[in-house]
Amino acid sequence: MSTKKSRLLEQSEGIHFETTRVRLLRQRAETLARCREAQSRSSRPLIFALDTALKLMCIDVPREVQERLRLHPPARSAKAGKARAQQKAQTPRPANSAQQTPQAQQTPRATFAADDELVIYADSRTSRRRIQGLRCVQWCHPVETITSDGIKCVAPLDTWLMFASYVSLGDLVLLGDAMMRRDADVRWHTPDDFTRAVGEFERRLDEKGLPTPRGFLNCRRALRLMQPGTDSLPETQVRLLLEGYGLPRPVVNAAADVRDERGVVRRFFLDLAFPQWGVAVEYDGRHHEEAWESDQRRIKLLGDAQWLLVNVTWDDLRDEDRRRAVVRSVAERIARRGGTVTPLEAPMTLREMTDLRRSRSGKKAKSGRGSGTSGKKGARSGGGKAGEMTGRS
């Protein structure tokens, strides 16, 4: 019996997870095959949009975005919205409606019912298509398209603008960061590209006298929270967590040059860092479990170079108590290095974080909210919701 193994099999042994690149390529191949099958059933060219377009372009799609996309109803015209509001006002309210939780009252009607539905784009009501297995969304604004392997989809910037009608402010930040990755192979745009896209879209609306699409104002807010150079979605979530509790914005993927035992300089990239205090925050995903030995060596060398590390896992982000504990750990290490950062008692919402007027006046406020460097605790009461990082604002 032969015991010979192929080189690929030997390389794969001990690796039990998908790297981000492998996952994105797999999703693209699967989505591309399905789009080709759908196109074969249509006599006219299809333009794929939203999360389908992102997968075709190898852009990371947050799970929260896909879930919200299935739940949130497509944008309606002003006339349709007014008629629906009148109908709702004439409908008797249930006896227990006043006791419903805010979350229950805000839960949108499910329209994207199937996880595996592909999404296509139509520029008018008359061009909408009805094809089995496809969800058609209407967007009455010009879009740039990209054609790859014979399949056409909406380009990243226009996809991001379209998403504003369906997802939350936090989701837009996650999507924007995903398009500005540190890895040049998966990076599509820069912050200036997003700023120009929002400005040009606003000018087109003014020139044509068109109403502002639902959720578009969140695009301008998201620009203030997005950060280029990240490697993963959890990095963005942890960064927003720290900023939401009033800590200064950390440097994303800061380079740290350290010497090993032989005196050779090695460069590590820290997920989130406060270089002025020598404090770093690292997100440990499944790939860290598979590379335990190399990670331990990395931690040792960074420790020898006087870096104070805070390791964060997915479990640390599951509820508010654990998230608050992460913030306290970071603030405590900053304090060891002479920093005066004191976390807020309760996190700001993303909307509050983007309020420029609030941030300008925050320096004068007694609570010190906004700057995150005051020695006084914020006076705000009540805990933040678990969904604030990606929740609707």
- CA separation, residue 73 to residues 76, 157, 304, 328, 390 (Å): 8, 22, 53, 39, 18
Residue with tokens 């520029």: 123
- Judged by average pLDDT, the poorest of 30-34, 177-181, 211-215, 356-360 is 356-360
Within 10 angstroms of residue 11's Cβ, the number of other Cβ atoms is: 10
User: What's the rounded mean pLDDT across residues 18-42?
Assistant: 91
Closest CA to 345 of 390, 385, 376: 376
The token pair at 211 is 């109403």
User: What's the rounded mean pLDDT across residues 189-208?
Assistant: 95
Residue with tokens 């909307």: 351
pLDDT band at 244 (very low <50, low <70, confident <90, very high): very high
User: What's the rounded mean pLDDT across residues 353-364?
Assistant: 58
Q: What is the DSSP letter of 101?
A: -
Closest CA to 59 of 169, 167, 195, 155: 155
Amino acid at 273: A
More confident residue, 217 or 94: 217
Residues 113-137 have pLDDT tens digits of 345 689 999 988 888 888 888 999 9
Pairing mode, strands 279-283 and 265-274: antiparallel
Residue 163 sits at the vertex; the CA angle it makes with 158 and 166, to the nearest 5 degrees, is 155
Q: How far is 99 from 114, CA to CA, in rounded Å?
A: 31
- What's the confidence (pLDDT) of residue 132? 85
pLDDT band at 237 (very low <50, low <70, confident <90, very high): very high
pLDDT band at 112 (very low <50, low <70, confident <90, very high): very low
The token pair at 143 is 């879009």
More confident residue, 292 or 8: 8
75: pLDDT strictly greater than 60: no
- What's the confidence (pLDDT) of residue 216? 93
Residues 41-59 have pLDDT tens digits of 998 999 999 999 999 999 9
Residues 6+ positions from 275 with CB-CB distance below 8 Å: 251, 254
- What's the confidence (pLDDT) of residue 12? 58
Pairing mode, strands 151-154 and 47-48: parallel
- CA separation, residue 132 to residues 71, 154, 277 (Å): 19, 21, 57
User: What's the rounded mean pLDDT across residues 317-321?
Assistant: 91
- Judged by average pLDDT, the poorest of 141-145, 284-288, 349-353 is 284-288
pLDDT band at 3 (very low <50, low <70, confident <90, very high): low
Q: How far is 16 from 302, CA to CA, in rounded Å?
A: 27
Average pLDDT along the chain: 78
Taking each helix axis from N to C end, the angle separating 169-178 and 63-71, rounded to the nearest 10 degrees, works out to 140
Torsion, CA 373, CA 379, CA 382, CA 387, rounded to 10 = -30
- What's the confidence (pLDDT) of residue 348? 93
Residues 250-306 have pLDDT tens digits of 999 988 888 877 877 888 889 999 999 999 999 986 544 455 566 677 777 777 677
Chain centroid to Cα 26, Å, comes to 20
pLDDT band at 380 (very low <50, low <70, confident <90, very high): very low
Q: How far is 184 from 187, CA to CA, in rounded Å?
A: 5
Q: What does the domain layout of the chain look like in residue ranges?
A: 16-78+108-223, 233-389
User: Max alpha carbon distance in the chain (Å)?
Assistant: 79
105: pLDDT strictly greater than 60: no
The token pair at 148 is 């790859």
Instruction: Report whether 143 contacts 192 (CB < 8 A).
Output: no
Within 10 angstroms of residue 148's Cβ, the number of other Cβ atoms is: 12
pLDDT band at 68 (very low <50, low <70, confident <90, very high): confident
Share of the chain above pLDDT 70, in %: 71
Q: How far is 366 from 368, CA to CA, in rounded Å?
A: 5
More confident residue, 366 or 24: 24
User: What's the rounded mean pLDDT across residues 200-222?
Assistant: 93
pLDDT band at 324 (very low <50, low <70, confident <90, very high): very high
Closest CA to 235 of 252, 213, 223, 249: 252
- In 245-376, which ranges are continuous DSSP H helix? 286-290, 292-304, 320-336, 350-353, 356-362
